[in-house]
């Protein structure tokens, strides 16, 4: 069977159509899912900050951050409507990006925990509990990169900007060497800027398209 060759104009139109279909597929998923993950991250961060304040900065309470992927995954799965009609190559690319981001995000705390168990002490950040400050900000840097890449793939500027701002916040906080209270404040700001606001913007975009 002979495959029809597309002209450059037809190829651009096909790519534009796939991106548009992907935006429509994100209707019941990414807008609300971004908000869900943002709210989950914000609430867990506030919980950790409260526990650290009440219990005299016991750094072990930072492990409560591991609740974020558990709560976020369950909540988002329960909220997804499985009515996606057209699965495009762009959908598959976005999905693979987030498989990689998820794998890296899960691997980071496991790696650091293993390094602590075997007693690695060649890196100064491991001393005096500062590892617990490092991990969350590496995590938000990784997720922010994923958000920016996703925004670039589907041509959604709010996600691109939110992701870039997230990377700047994470790197800036680590370089500034803020006290942990200040670092937690930045960590609480990140989901609002990088996830909740883009999620609201995406829902507004889809709603405006439906009303046209």
pLDDT tens-digit series, residues 131-174: 666 777 888 899 999 999 988 887 889 999 999 999 999 888 87
Tell me how crowded residue 136 is: count the other CB atoms within 10 A of its CB. 24
Q: What is the chain's mean pLDDT, rounded?
A: 77
Cα distance between residue 94 and residue 99, in whole Å: 9
Cα distance between residue 29 and residue 112, in whole Å: 32
The model's pLDDT over 16-29, given as tens digits with 9 standing for 90+, comes to 666 666 656 555 55
- Report field, pTM of the whole predicted structure over 0.85: no
pLDDT of residue 63: 78
């Amino acid at each position: 069977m002979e495959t029809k060759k597309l002209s450059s104009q037809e190829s651009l139109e096909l790519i534009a159509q796939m991106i548009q279909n992907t935006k429509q597929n994100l209707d019941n998923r990414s807008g609300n899912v971004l908000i869900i993950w943002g709210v989950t991250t914000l609430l867990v961060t506030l919980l950790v900050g409260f526990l650290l304040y009440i219990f005299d900065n016991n750094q072990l309470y930072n492990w409560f951050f591991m609740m974020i992927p558990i709560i976020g995954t369950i909540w988002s799965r329960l909220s997804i409507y499985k009515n996606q009609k057209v699965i495009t190559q762009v959908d598959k690319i976005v999905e693979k990006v987030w498989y990689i981001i998820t794998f890296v995000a899960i691997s980071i705390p496991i790696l650091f925990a293993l390094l602590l168990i075997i007693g690695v002490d060649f890196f100064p950040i491991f001393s005096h509990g500062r590892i617990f400050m490092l991990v969350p900000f590496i995590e938000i840097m990784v997720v922010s990169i994923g958000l920016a890449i996703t925004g670039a793939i589907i041509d959604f500027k709010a996600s691109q900007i939110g992701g870039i701002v997230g990377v700047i916040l994470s790197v800036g906080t680590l370089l500034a060497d803020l006290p942990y209270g200040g670092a937690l404040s930045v960590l609480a700001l990140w989901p609002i800027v990088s996830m909740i606001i883009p999620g609201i913007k995406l829902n507004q975009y889809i709603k405006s398209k439906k009303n046209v």
